[in-house]
Structure 1
Amino acid sequence: MGANFLIKESLMFFIDWDKKYELGIKSIDDDHQKLVALIDELLVALSNGKGRELLAPIIKKVEDYTLYHFRREEFFMKCAKYPNLENHIIEHQHFIEKIKAMKAKSRLNDSTVAIELMKFLKEWLINHIQVSDRKYEAILKKSGVQ
């Protein structure tokens, strides 16, 4: 599989931000858009032939930013007394474990990890927003989270 195929294949995984992904909670929507921007950063690196070189720093950014976002989101849910907080935290923990596994895989110079990462991020982020985050949306809004 050549590099050009991988780049063309990766274009399928890019997320075009859409209002349907917004919860109407500005801080969380901004965080989600930042995560989409990190996926785009990886796509740009791949298309410029710098995927392997920039993969580790991008994974680190994803890891750092998601930890920041998860802490904020969990704090909001705790303050709003969201009843499904524990399950939501478990979802976050599974995400972190997957990112750590990809980071380890990237150290082995596995050429598929960049595409795998973009696909995973897209699928996880969209599903997490549309399903898991929607469950707390009304409760957080009612508690005044912005």
Structure 2
Amino acid sequence: MHSLINELQNYVIYHFKTEEDLMVKSQSPNIDLHVMEHELFRKKVEEFHHSYYNNNEELLNEMISFMRKWLIIHISGTDAEYADSIKDTLGIQ
């Protein structure tokens, strides 16, 4: 479980940095709000770390529930709002 949380944390650092850089480059709308959502996600991953070290027996269920909501709400909603501006910047049809 510890390695899963570490991998999630490493991926979040890489992915959010890349995404935020692309959003700035493409002058995507609502960048500040989007970055705030990313920060909430980063904090949640830190909470997962603390829960792990405190032997939280519900940690796996909490992680699954949080990730499911994140995938549905953030990725299919918030990320979709800026997809066109990123595609235009990168020259993707």
**Runs (4+) of structure 1 moved beyond 6 Å?**
none
Q: Which residue in 2 is equivalent to 1:84? A: 30
The structure having more radius of gyration, on CA atoms, is: 1
Find the partner of 1:135 among 78, 81, 89. Answer: 81
Equivalent in the alignment of 2:18 = 72
Residues in 2 aligned to 1:145 and 1:62: alpha-carbon distance in whole angstroms? 30
1:98 to 39, 44, 51: 44
Alignment of 1:5-16 (within 5 A): none
Residue 62 of structure 1: how far off its partner (Å): 0.5
Post-superposition Cα deviations, 1:62-92, rounded to whole Å, max 9, x if no partner, equal 0110110000000100100113111100000
> Percent identity at matched positions?
28
State the shift of 1:145 in Å. Answer: 6.1
For these two proteins, the number of residue pairs brought into alignment is 92
* Offset at residue 97 of structure 1 (A): 0.5
Which ranges of structure 2 fall in alignment gaps of 5 or more residues? Answer: none
TM-score by length of 1: 0.60
Letter in 1 for 2:15: H
Q: Which runs of 5+ in 1 are unaligned?
A: 1-54
Q: Could you tell me whether the CA contact under 8 Å between 1:70 and 1:92 is conserved in 2?
A: yes
Contact map agreement 1:76 1:145 (CA 8 A) in 2: no
Pairwise CA RMSD: 1.2
Q: Which has the bigger relative contact order, CA under 8 A and spacing at least 6?
A: 2
Q: Does structure 1 residue 117 correspond to structure 2 residue 93?
A: no
